Each structure stands twice: as structure tokens, then as C-alpha cells.
């Protein structure tokens, strides 16, 4: 399996459009963004973790997990999925999701992603699932909520957008493990008529062979 494909599998949680930060990819800085000097990897005094520390100005550059927010958009007995127009996992299906922006509430970010990727409006969002993806330093917060109408169309990041019943879900063409797990739990809860808040941890795929 090519390295690029292995990386896509290891990024199996990535439902957003932006390139990974140094933090998200498990990398570290080379140069200080404050003064341009070389950055060292060391444990600062009073700390217990290795950090990126500037060799000149002493600035400690803390790297923290990124929050991804998304939605299970509901319309009657169907949900809305987007087929990705961008890497990674281009051409596969996902729920609308992406990085939370500064100044946004989690729900507002999820609404924005739904509009950007599917040109659909959702309202009355309820937090549904929180997943830890420690192998890419991410948290996924997924909401569920009804679409305001059945109007939708592909955004710039989607090849197509469509409504699916549970039986129509293209399970073998879902882009990311975290989306597969969200959908699996969602339909299980819907079948029993009760939605409990879910938590879980997504593990990286181990390439075969």
C-alpha cells in the first residue's frame, strides 16, 4: 500500500477541508514563529511533557487538540450525506463536518459546515456524540438535527449531496471511521426510539500486509 494511502487511512477521522497542523499530524515546529530562531524539543521547567521551546526567546509553543464539529442532518426518515470533492478520501461519502473556527460556538460551527458542504440549513441541534481521536490529536463533536427544508446542493467541497434511508447508506464508501461509527450508533438509537449522548474512541486503521 502506498504511503499516501496509508496516511489517508490513519487520518480516517478527517472530515474537514484544511491541511493538518503540525500538531494534528504529530509533527513539531522547526522555527519559532515569534523570532525565527530554531525550536528545540524539551520538557520545560515545571512541566511534564515534551514541548516546542524556542532556543532564543524561550517561548513555549503549546500544541493542543483540534475540535471538529459536524451534523447528522435529518429530513423525515432520511439523512443527508455529502460525497467529497477534496482529499483525503475524495469521492467517498461523509456527514458535513469540519474544524471549529475561532469565535464560533460548537453548534454554529456545525451549522456553517452543513451550509458550506451541502447548502442545507439545520436547526434545533442536539449534541449527540463525542469521539476521541488521540492518534491525530482531534476531538469530534457530532450533533443531530432536522433540516429546515429539503433544499440542498453540493458546496465547493462536495461532488454531490443526497438524502439516504438507512437501507440506502453506502456503507462500503463511507470516508472516515468516525463517520461510520456515528452513523452506526445513530441508526441503532433511532431504531429503539431514544437518543442518548454517546462517547467513544476511534482507533487508527492498521494496514494489512
- Per-residue pLDDT, averaged over 145-157, amounts to 97
pLDDT of residue 27: 62
- Per-residue pLDDT, averaged over 9-18, amounts to 38
Beta strands 158-164 and 51-54: pairing type?
A: unpaired
**Most confident segment among 28-37, 41-50, 56-65, 116-125:** 116-125
Q: Which helix (H) or strand (E) holds 71?
A: strand 66-75
Residues of the chain above pLDDT 70, percent: 86
Cell triple for residue 168?
440506502
Q: Where are the domains of the chain?
A: 66-201
pLDDT tens for 69-93 read 999 999 999 999 999 999 999 999 9
Specify the range with the lowest mean pLDDT, choosing from 4-8, 35-39, 184-188. 4-8
Is residue 125 within 8 Å of residue 107, measured between CB atoms? Answer: yes
Which comes out higher in pLDDT, residue 108 or 4? 108
Question: What's the whole-model pTM score?
Answer: 0.81
- Domain 66-201 is found in CATH 3.60.9.10: no
DSSP 31: B
172 pLDDT tier (thresholds 50, 70, 90): very high
Amino acid at each position: 500500500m502506498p504511503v499516501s494511502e496509508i496516511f489517508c487511512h490513519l487520518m480516517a477521522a478527517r472530515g474537514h477541508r484544511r491541511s493538518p497542523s503540525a500538531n494534528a499530524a504529530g509533527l513539531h515546529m522547526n522555527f519559532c514563529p515569534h523570532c525565527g530562531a530554531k525550536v528545540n524539543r524539551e520538557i520545560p521547567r515545571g512541566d511534564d511533557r515534551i514541548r516546542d521551546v524556542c532556543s532564543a526567546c524561550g517561548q513555549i509553543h503549546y500544541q493542543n487538540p483540534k475540535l471538529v464539529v459536524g451534523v447528522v442532518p435529518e429530513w423525515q426518515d432520511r439523512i443527508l450525506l455529502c460525497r467529497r470533492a477534496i482529499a483525503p478520501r475524495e469521492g467517498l461519502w461523509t456527514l458535513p463536518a469540519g474544524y471549529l473556527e475561532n469565535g464560533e460556538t460548537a453548534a454554529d460551527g456545525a451549522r456553517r459546515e452543513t451550509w458550506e458542504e451541502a447548502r442545507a440549513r439545520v436547526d434545533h441541534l442536539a449534541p449527540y456524540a463525542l469521539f476521541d481521536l488521540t492518534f491525530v490529536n482531534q476531538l469530534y463533536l457530532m450533533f443531530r438535527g432536522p433540516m429546515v427544508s429539503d433544499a440542498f446542493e453540493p458546496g465547493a467541497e462536495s461532488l454531490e449531496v443526497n438524502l439516504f434511508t438507512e437501507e440506502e447508506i453506502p456503507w462500503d464508501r463511507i470516508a472516515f471511521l468516525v463517520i461510520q461509527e456515528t452513523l452506526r450508533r445513530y441508526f441503532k438509537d433511532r431504531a429503539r426510539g431514544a437518543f442518548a449522548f454517546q462517547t467513544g474512541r476511534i482507533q487508527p486503521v492498521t494496514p494489512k500486509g
